[in-house]
Amino acid sequence: MRNSAEHVQLITRRRLLAGGAVLAAGAGLTLLQACAPAPASPATAVPAAPTLPPAATKAAAAPAATPVPATAVPTAAPTAVPVAVKPTAAATDQPVSMSVSTSRGAHYNPLWYCCGSQIATLPWILMGLARQNTQGQFEPWLASSYTVDDSGSSVTIKLQPTARWSDGQPITAADVVWTWELWAAPWVHGPASAQSKVWGLAGAKEFNDGTADTISGVQVVDDHTITAKLDPPNALWAIGQQMDFGILPKHVFDGWPKDKLADHAYMDAPTVSSGPYKFVKYELDQYIEMARWDDWWGNTVWKQPKVTHVFAKQLDPPTAIAQIERGELTVAAVPGQEMDRVQKMANVELFRVPSLGMIGYWYNQRHTYLKDKRVRQAFDFALDKEAIRKAVNFGLGKPTATTIMGPDWALNPNVKPRPYDPEKAKALLTEAGWDPTQTLTYLLVGSDAFVKSLAEVFQQYLSQISVKVDLKTVTSAVEIPEFDKGEFDVGLIGGGEFARDPSLSAAYFRSDTSWASKWMGYANPRLDELFKQGVATNDPKKRADVYFEVQQILSDEVPWILLWQLEQVWAADKRLAGFTPYVMSTSTGASLLDWSWK
């Protein structure tokens, strides 16, 4: 049996250290919008030094709360990606550029909200009711206020009274309700996926299954006020995932057939906008261009951005780091293997900030041989997670046992990560009657080096307990169809905002969500009940008891193997003022309103 150090050497020999990149959206990872704010440690500038910073938590770019349908966006002819002009001292009008993930959703639109390229740009073009600040906390955005009553059974939302679309039309409650109906509509995403986006709105299920023409619990009070009944009661609804989904202009689609929605030109070019920046251009797989809306209605509510032009460049991590070193990129996420190099760059400042997300492996329990929790526990024991973190992730990251990683009041001190114990793993497989001829299929999505490293690590470690793992490599364009077919056993999962509130885990493990029912084949009635109880009150003491039990169940049943909690590392051009790092890599420009050139 190899010890931990020997396994690190094994990993190195297999060239798995070539990875360490920030995880690309669409690479088998799914990002959730979290459900409640938790204080995060302030980011600190990292002084230049030739040694790696101490281990903490590494961040990963990942898709948004619900997987996007895999309808392919037509490929555009290649064009040159713009290179940022190096600014002079007073270059206020010079553009800024930021790196975003190379993957994309089926359409460039909030209805197919996915991937770092969209998450970093769409909120500035199409505002949600709320937006996330750099600490991942929700703040009013298109809404001036949102209030859940004491019982958690209804919410009242008031819109900014001066809000208008860039074509001059007012933004009203009708736009919000129509957008919610699109989220719930089975003709947009399919019944299961759509329903999970609006669970909690009374009547959404009936609208989704076609037995109602409207979401009955939603009422328009006046042009700027909406009330909604919540079922089940949810005291935390107003800081849930639906709050920062972009609201769409209903009038743009007047007369358009609902079953042809994806064919509307607006779905790939949102030229009517509500936010401080207008959509200019999207060169597929290359860059998204935004220009400041000079007479944005929000200039008097917040402030006018100082940066007039923004390029979100879809770059792989090595290219992004090379460009920021040459002064051709303003802001970039930094992968672990580039930390030492970036710290030595004279033209950039390096930041580290605790992340709310995680990374791990998920099981497809639709296959009967993975239904026995002893099998899933065995694979967890078979992985030396600390050796993997240190070797593949360059020491960045913090061990975690479940997706409930914060706030502190929610953490069960008795639930800890399983230790590396291959002999225990073998014994559990024997006890479970594991068929030694059974081969596992690992779904490897995309070609990202870090993602591939983690697939190969899983394969290597399981070979030590005589379990064969085949890697099935697919592109991100077919990720969701592959999920639907289910012809695999294990995949990679990462990102999210789990540490913000424990209720976020419900979006994956509640039996009525797409992930649990459709893809994982996982259901636990007790978990369903606990997740309902956990949002029925906002009293931390009452909620702690609920989520302590949730952690015990998740740790015991192992629907996912958690590798580590993440940390985000950023590099910003020293000439950029106002940059504040975000707790997730998916929103490079979270502080964009404050940016300017020095």
Indicate the helix (H) or strand (E) that contains 440: strand 439-445
37 falls in which pLDDT band (50, 70, 90)?
Answer: very low
Lowest mean pLDDT among 69-78, 215-224, 495-504: 69-78
Contact predicate 28/445, CB 8 Å:
yes
Residue 56 has a pLDDT of 31
Alpha carbons 237 and 579: distance in angstroms, whole number = 30
341: how many CB neighbours lie within 10 A of its CB? 14
Give me 530's structure tokens.
Answer: 């606990």
Q: Can the peptide bond before residue 232 be classed as cis, meaning omega within 30 degrees of 0?
A: yes
- Write out the residue limits of the CATH 3.10.105.10 domain(s) in the chain: 27-31+354-567
Contact 159, 148 (CB under 8 A): no
Scan for tokens 């259901």, then name that residue. 523
Compute the half-sphere exposure of residue 229: CA atoms within 13 Å on the CB side of its CA.
Answer: 8
Residue 120 in contact with residue 320, Cβ under 8 Å?
no
pLDDT of residue 197: 56
Preceding omega of 63 cis (within 30 degrees of 0): no
pTM: 0.76
CA angle 389, 100, 73 (to 5 degrees): 115
pLDDT for position 55: 29
Asked whether residue 57 carries a pLDDT value surpassing 70, the answer given is no
More confident: 356 or 346: 346
Q: What's residue 196's pLDDT?
A: 52
Which range has the top average pLDDT, 109-118, 513-522, 546-555? Answer: 546-555
Ranges of CATH 3.90.76.10 domains, the chain? 103-115+122-278
Q: Rounded to whole angstroms, how far apart are CA atoms 64 and 135?
A: 17
* 230-237 mean pLDDT: 90
29, 160 contact by CB (below 8 A): no
What would the pLDDT profile of 312-323 be if each residue is shown by its tens digit? 999 988 999 999
Question: What are 179-201's pLDDT values in tens digits?
Answer: 999 988 877 765 444 445 566 89
Angle between helices 373-382 and 540-557 (to 10 degrees): 90
Does residue 28 surpass a pLDDT of 80? Answer: no
200: left (phi over 0), alpha (psi -120 to 50) or beta: left
Distance of CA 115 to the CA centre of its chain: 7
Instruction: Give pLDDT tens digits for 64-113.
Output: 333 323 333 333 333 444 555 454 444 467 999 999 988 777 889 988 87
| Residue 86 or 326, more confident | 326
In terms of Cβ atoms closer than 10 Å to its own Cβ (0-12, 13-18, 19+), residue 78 is exposed
* Structural fold of domain 27-31+354-567: Dipeptide-binding Protein; domain 3 (3.10.105)
CB atoms within 10 A of CB 525: 8
**Segment 284-302, tens digit of pLDDT:** 989 999 999 999 999 999 9
* pLDDT, tens only, 240-249: 767 888 999 9
3 state SS of 33: coil
| Mean pLDDT, range 7-14, rounded to an integer | 35
Measured from the Cβ of residue 128, the count of other Cβ atoms closer than 10 Å reads 25
Q: Which pLDDT belongs to residue 67?
A: 32
Counting other chains too, the contacts that 292-296 makes at CB distance below 8 Å and 24 or more residues apart are 293/166
What is the end-to-end Cα distance of the chain in Å, rounded? 57
**pLDDT value, residue 111:** 86
The segment with the largest mean pLDDT, out of 22-31, 330-339, 527-536, 578-587, is 527-536
* Weakest mean pLDDT among 49-53, 133-137, 267-271, 569-573: 49-53
- Average pLDDT along the chain: 83
Contact 360, 354 (CB under 8 A): no
Give the architecture-level CATH label for domain 103-115+122-278.
Alpha-Beta Complex (3.90)
Averaged pLDDT for residues 23-34: 36
Question: Which has the closest alpha carbon to 566: 591, 586, 595?
Answer: 586
pLDDT of residue 586: 58
Residue 331 is predicted with a pLDDT of 96
